[in-house]
Amino acid sequence: MTEPASITLVGADDKRYYQLPMVWPVIGIAWVTMTYAYTGSIIGTTLGQPSFYIYMGLDTNPNTEGLVGTMTGLFYAGGIFGCLLNAWLADKVGRKWTCIIASLIVIVSTACLAGSVNIGMFIAFRFFIGIG
């Protein structure tokens, strides 16, 4: 019986294809991705709280059901606009700056969303978080 032939991969070497400075941007991008998923899912818990309806004045509003749908839907509509905007922005300023700008949009919008005092602010910043 003969020995099997050894296979040599072209370009195979012992070089590491990841460096320590690249770890931080990857962690940052993963964090933003997790934040987007969290923001998309946390609305269910928020809408399950009776105190949210009272604070936002939705307990007596006849359009509550439509506003709840708007809160949920505009987040994903913002995501569609964000895909288009970020694709264009990546061509103009590069991927790194696009990620930084998108992260800043998410950070500022999340802070403003947390401080919303009426339903209009809440809905608007849900849209901007979707863009980021």
The per-residue pLDDT for range 72-105, each reduced to its tens digit, is 899 999 999 999 999 999 999 998 899 889 888 9
52: buried, middle or exposed (CB in 10 Å: 19+, 13-18, 0-12)?
middle
pLDDT at site 8 = 61
Taking the domains of the chain in order of start, what are their residue ranges?
A: 21-131
Q: Stretch 12-34: mean pLDDT, rounded?
A: 74
Q: Are 72 and 43 in contact (CB under 8 A)?
A: yes
pLDDT at site 23 = 82
φ, ψ of residue 69 to 5 degrees: the values are -65, -35
pLDDT at site 78 = 93
